[in-house]
Homo-oligomer: A and B are copies of this chain.
């Protein structure tokens, strides 16, 4: 059954995100040799990056070493490397280090990167929030502005402390909610001599409501809670350009800020383009009903990097996890010469976004909604459950309890050199 006759079936997985990990784990009892390739030596729990950016969690809490995940799974090898080329004809993946990797099955799960949509200045002056390094850079940048203003209080009134977040989806909403809490509960006390009340957190969304993929009632809740807590929410106005110290809106308004975060959209990882197959408008790989790349047997794409033209799935963890497992099962059936399973069906488990202390919105597939403290508790519980590893779970639970009881955020050390320019957005 294997292509070489003797050697074991080789599976290469690109990406150690939710999709890649789910696939590799689901292959644990199969007679395959898996190699998982990722540019980082750790899995990033992206849903909590905004908490790192707002000093609620340590960076180490939302990452988990990939080698640790597969320590007991003997059929997985890990390679920390960047993919440089994919040769579908020869079935080889090349990386920036090490020998090229030959595969019998390829699972592309490289995820998404931030998308500037060509808005001028975004790539040069705005931070993304897609990686742990992004989150640490945002935190560093915000805290450093406060420290600077402490010795130059006049600067604080010039908008040096302001944070503008472009994009009112879940990431933008969660970041805005976490940032205003950091300002009010922590930084206002840390910097008693600064007029932190003059520091603004602004959330800008081009369409006419926040959380556009949620029900309108959730959007209303999010906007009401954020506004009440002090975030200036601007909807229905786009971003015309980003300058080093301001965001210029399409209505001509200029929002002065030294910290600008771009969460307005994503596109597929550049790895998608290496396949040389048709891509969707967002650069995603077009897959068939079985998550396979049409005309390329043995090649699959799952998660944010993949799209079934007719039914684009939400770019969150669940479709990636379910897709990864589905593809692993498909490979296992193929090896056992069983007939292919039916097409991939995404089981929607609902959507959630937290807005801050005691406030979140949660929507379930049956149309029910939760908001307020109940939604918030559901959000907390679910994220603890899905976090990787006992130690991270315990650490996060401890930090959240601490933050909740004390209104404090301990993760605000300024280590390393500050990035002069924001993380480049590809």
Contact = CB atoms under 8 A, between A and B. Distances in A.
A410 interface: yes
Contacts of A79: 150-151
A80 to B, nearest CB: 5
Give the one of A74, A193, A410 with max B CB within 10 A: A410
Interface string A104-118: 000000000000000
Given A41-B143, A58-B58, A71 B190 contact: yes
B42 A80 contact: no
A102 interface: no
A88 interface: no
A68 interface: yes
Nearest to A136: B415
Interface string A369-402: 0000000000000000000011110110011001
A132 B415 contact: yes
A71 B152 CA distance: 20
A249 interface: no
Contact of A132 (B71, B148, B413): B413
Given A59-B415, A63-B415, A415-B59, A98 B152 contact: yes
B414 A42 contact: yes
A412 B98 contact: no
A402 B390 contact: yes
Interface string A170-210: 00000000000000000001111100000000000000000
A81 B416 contact: no
A391 B402 contact: yes
A147 interface: yes
Contacts of A413: 40-42, 59-60, 63, 65, 132
A97 interface: yes
A214 interface: no
A67 interface: yes
A233 B79 CA distance: 33
A99 to B, nearest CB: 8
A186 to B, nearest CB: 8
Contact of A152 (B97, B132, B414, B415): B97
A59 B144 CA distance: 18
A77 interface: yes
A408 interface: yes
B98 A151 contact: yes
Nearest to A412: B65
Interface string A19-60: 000000000000000000000111000000000000000111
Contacts of A391: 398-399, 402, 408, 410
A40 B132 contact: no
A140 to B, nearest CB: 10
A60 B416 CA distance: 12
Contacts of A398: 391, 394-395, 398
A372 B390 CA distance: 29
Interface in A132-158: 132-133, 136, 143, 147-148, 150-152
The 6 closest A-B pairs by CB, nearest first: A98-B151, A67-B190, A58-B60, A97-B151, A63-B413, A42-B413
28 contacts: A40-B413, A41-B413, A42-B412, A58-B59, A58-B60, A58-B61, A59-B60, A60-B60, A60-B411, A60-B413, A63-B415, A65-B190, A65-B412, A65-B413, A77-B193, A79-B151, A80-B147, A81-B151, A95-B151, A98-B152, A132-B413, A133-B416, A136-B415, A391-B398, A391-B402, A391-B408, A392-B410, A398-B398
Interface of A: 40-42, 58-61, 63-65, 67-68, 71, 74, 77-81, 95, 97-99, 132-133, 136, 143, 147-148, 150-152, 189-193, 389-392, 394-395, 398-399, 402, 408, 410-416
